[in-house]
Amino acid sequence: MIEVYSKALDSSLKVDRILGKIEGIKPGPTVVFFGGIHGNETSGVFALKDALAGINNTYVKGTIYGISGNLKALKENKRYIENDLNRLWTKQQIQKIRNKTVLNEDELELVELFNLLNDILETNTSPFYFIDLHTTSSKTLPFITINDALINRKFSEQFPVPIVLGIEEYLNGPLLSYINQMGYVSLGFESGQHDDFSAITNSIAFVYLTLVYSGVLKEEAVINFSKYHEQLKQHAKNKNAVFEVIYLYKIEKKEHFKMLNGFKSFERIKKGTKLAISNAVEISAPFTGSIFMPLYQKRGAEGFFIIKPIKPILLKISAVLRRLKTDTLLAWLPGVSWVNKTEGSLQVNLTIAKFLAKPLFHLLGYRNRQITNTHLMLNNRERVAKTKIYKREPWY
């Protein structure tokens, strides 16, 4: 058990790995919440303790878990100790860590969470929902981030906050990407700035909305349900559009990066806007769009993202194309071949890829990452999504 301090509340809380587990008297879904995967983001931990304490299991249909992320980093109020725990969740990294004889603090945390995750999947019933609660270093509207699978889209559309797609194309090893590769509904919720009181209350609201939308609780069992919904709607400033990440400024090792003051997530910027200083050189926006998660803390490798809204008609077209499995036609193109058809992995020659529009891949559900000097790897979330287990859910 460790002690976690909240600057927003000016109080501490003693927590263990499992913040809470509530088993309903009737069978139903399994909803798993994570808080504090980054140790300086304590709001999710305090929100989960508060929300779970207010739930009577006689109203619960299914099972609810609240899980602490990086305990050692939470204790020290640091993003991580040696390695970012939310960048270690790839099959290769996990296997490498499990084969090591000496692990650092963050790797030990990963092993414990990995074992707990597998135990939850083995001992509980589907459908499964995984929610990771986060906060940001900048001022922000509350928002959802998802890997772009239709089941994630559909579930997320119930919430009155913006949705951001495609971040997995720019980040390697987030916990939710690993879970999404197993085919389950998984989404991240960014509730506000790290030490804002509203980051805690927004997370509490999101927890209750998630439990109602997943069918674990009935709406009438949550006394303030309509107030929670309205709270998130107001904090999101009635903005519930779907956005896509189009750019990431990646901070290199030993680079001295400093974001210019005053930028907020979802703030509109024009191409050429001065955003940051890197090694005494000004950095300007390479695109017009909205700035997203500008870095105002010492730790972190992502300086800032740029996002743009996606037209609703394109979202509808992509859903139709995916259901028809139109992506099978891609493998007929020269320079494109299946790496693993079941898992939806394609390999594309870079010479060919530059003639294929990136939005086409996105429409069909693929996100790309360069793996060699000559090839891209494209991964499709739809082929691994366990869509069948969610088809009878009311939100589907």
Q: What value does the mean pLDDT take over residues 280-307?
A: 96
Report how far residue 392's alpha carbon sits from residue 396's, in angstroms, rounded to the nearest whole number.
7
CATH number of 2-235: 3.40.630.10
Beta bridge partners of 23: 63
What integer pLDDT is reported at residue 360 of this predicted model? Answer: 80
DSSP-assigned letter for residue 252: P
- 346: helix, strand or coil: strand
What integer pLDDT is reported at residue 9 of this predicted model? Answer: 96
Q: What value does the mean pLDDT take over residues 184-208?
A: 98
Do 32 and 116 meet the contact criterion of CB atoms below 8 Å apart? no
The domains of the chain are located at 2-235, 242-309, 312-389
DSSP 45-64: HHHHHHHHHT--GGG-EEEE
How far from 123 is each of 118, 240, 250, CA to CA, in Å?
9, 36, 40
- pLDDT per residue as tens digits for the range 223-260: 999 999 999 999 999 999 999 999 999 999 999 999 99
Beta bridge partners of 247: 306
- Asked if the peptide bond before residue 29 counts as cis, ω within 30 degrees of 0, the response is no
Residue 371 has pLDDT above 80, yes or no: no
- pLDDT per residue as tens digits for the range 328-370: 888 888 888 888 888 888 888 877 766 666 778 888 888 877 6
* Residue 320, phi then psi, degrees to nearest 5: -65, -45
Write the CB contacts of 305 (distance below 8 Å, at least 6 apart in sequence): 167, 170, 245, 247, 248, 249, 291, 292, 293
Do 32 and 128 meet the contact criterion of CB atoms below 8 Å apart? yes
What integer pLDDT is reported at residue 378 of this predicted model? Answer: 84
Q: Which strand (E) or helix (H) includes residue 338?
A: strand 336-340
User: What's the order of all strands across the beta sheet hosting 281-284?
Assistant: 257-259, 274-278, 281-284
- 336: helix, strand or coil: strand
The domain 242-309 is placed in CATH, from the list 2.40.50.100, 3.40.50.2000, 3.90.1170.50, 3.40.1080.10, at 2.40.50.100
- pLDDT per residue as tens digits for the range 15-57: 999 999 999 999 999 999 999 999 999 999 999 999 999 999 9
The pTM assigned to this predicted structure is 0.95
